[in-house]
Amino acid sequence: MIHRLTLAALLLTSTAPALAQPAAPAPVDPRVATLRDAALRDDVAYDIVEGMTTEVGQRLAGTEAEARARTWSAAKLKALGFKNVRIETYRMPVWVRGEERGEIVAPFPQKLQLTALGNSGATPAAGIEAEVVVFPTYGDLVAAPAGSLAGKIAYVGNAMMKTQDGSSYGQEGIARRAGPAVAAGKGAVAIVIRSIGTDTHRLPHTGSTNFPAGAAPIPAAALSVPDGKLVEAMATRGKPIRMKLLLTPRQVGEQESGNVIAEVPGTDPDAGVVLIGGHLDSWDLATGAIDDASGVAITAAAAKRILDSGKRPRRTIRVVWFGAEEVGGFGGRDYAARHGSERHAIAAESDFGADRVWRFETTLPDTAKAVSDRLASALAPLGIVRGAGNAGDGSDIAPTIALGVAGVDLNQSGLDYFDTHHTPDDTLDRVDPEKLRQNVAAWTAMLAIVADAPEEIGPVVRPAR
Ligand code: ZN
Ligand code: ZN
């Protein structure tokens, strides 16, 4: 092994062939740089997050609270000067939380911190008590023999690790998304999972689960991470664990939800819409500051900077605050059903909290590859690197992206996101105004480039996932 200082000296004095010279970076349009740098002093995004969390609070999809959030948002977007502000409603099935309690009754009686998963079934009013079968991972649950959980409560660990790109959520989150249906299929009377989260606080993480059509949902809850570890530690003692659960959520039938839409009109109606946004609804345990008041705020604040720049963009920028994302992406599907036939140049979503953007990715047609080079130059001063992945992330834009629309992703760091995601701790305290400003600057630069790009940005063909 070469000592690091020696290596550095060798590199400095080396006469070996130089590394291949990268192509010169694309120049940054001075207007883009000015808009970007001014956005580093942005207060609009924080004002939106502060206002939405203070004056509305939790915004569970399909409830009266989400309706109030739509009214608040339309007024806010109008006050900010956006054009064509409107609400598009649709109907969707609605689940609401009830009482939720749990405890270990044997062999070591302890109270538990838990919360019901969205679409969880209910226990009888007196609760249920049953033996717990502990599965360290989702794979272990899947491998359990048919019928082996009859009369039992299943526990699934499936510990989640911190990752910058958030990929562990996709991998470990299956315990929440699919575990309850699998447990029900093997006869379980209920399921508790270790929260899909990366913190060690005693706050459970909610989130949706799904049961197949026609199957009766079983009670399904997430334990806080420390309580999940507690169950796992008890299991090592080799004595049967008995748990008591009381969960009384209910389905309240079809209700109204909706998307809030605002625009910065462009000069060239044939150039395609630049669709940006995040989701307006939140889980009900907190005020949804990072998920996703921050996303709607970042994207709208950036669009407002283009609106106020004194020059109309070539392409219309359409800001959509989607409804009912958390509970199944109803707003995104309604948007694509209504607007999918309109030409869209780009779709981009912010739904990963309020941490700094660290990477961008694009999926662009060959005619517009130079757009990505200009983004690389304009975003580099914000500490943002170019990734090589497929862009178009975000469940709200997914149905539009699926129609072949090009995408730009501005990836936020996921290292801390899952500490508070879907917990009672998702409050304004988690939002760092400086990091929010870096996001606004990145989105402003991106919008200034893509909305005005002279290239045609048409449909793209993505590799199958
Ligand atoms: Zn979200
Ligand atoms: Zn969420």
pTM of the model: 0.94
Contact by Cβ (8 Å): 392, 347: yes
pLDDT tens for 372-408 read: 999 999 999 999 999 999 999 999 999 999 999 999 9
Ligand 2 centroid to residue 109 C-alpha, Å: 33
Pairing of strands 220-223, 114-116: antiparallel
pLDDT tens for 272-318 read: 999 999 999 999 999 999 999 999 999 999 999 999 999 999 999 99
Distance, in Å, from the CA atom of 180 to the CA atom of 174, rounded to the nearest integer, reads 10
pLDDT tens for 60-99 read: 999 999 999 999 999 999 999 999 999 999 999 999 999 9
Q: Which of 237, 157, 236 is nearest to 191 (CA)?
A: 157
Ligand 1 centroid to residue 196 C-alpha, Å: 14
Structural domains in the chain? Answer: 30-92+253-450 (3.40.630.10), 98-248 (3.50.30.30)
- Place 8 in a pLDDT band, splitting at 50, 70 and 90: very low
Q: Which residues contact 280 (CB under 8 A, 6 or more apart)?
A: 59, 66, 69, 70, 73, 259, 260, 292, 296, 321, 322, 323, 331
Ligand 2 centroid to residue 294 C-alpha, Å: 12
Q: Which helix (H) or strand (E) holds 243?
A: strand 242-247
Among all ligands shown, which has an atom nearest to the Cα of 395? Answer: 1
Ligand 2 centroid to residue 59 C-alpha, Å: 12
Angle at 234 between CA 231 and CA 238, to 5 degrees: 130
Query: Is the bond preceding 265 in cis, omega lying within 30 degrees of 0?
Result: no
Q: b/e for 171-208, b at 16 or more Cβ within 10 A?
A: ebbbbbbbbbbbbbbbbbbbbbbbbbbbbebebbbbbb
Dihedral sign from CA coordinates of 448, 452, 454, 455: positive
Distance, in Å, from the CA atom of 199 to the CA atom of 418, rounded to the nearest integer, reads 7
Distance, in Å, from the CA atom of 335 to the CA atom of 314, rounded to the nearest integer, reads 22
Contact by Cβ (8 Å): 87, 338: no
Among all ligands shown, which has an atom nearest to the Cα of 393? Answer: 1
pLDDT tens for 158-183 read: 999 999 999 999 999 999 999 999 99
Distance, in Å, from the CA atom of 394 to the CA atom of 291, rounded to the nearest integer, reads 12
pLDDT tens for 49-67 read: 999 999 999 999 999 999 9
Ligand 2 centroid to residue 285 C-alpha, Å: 11
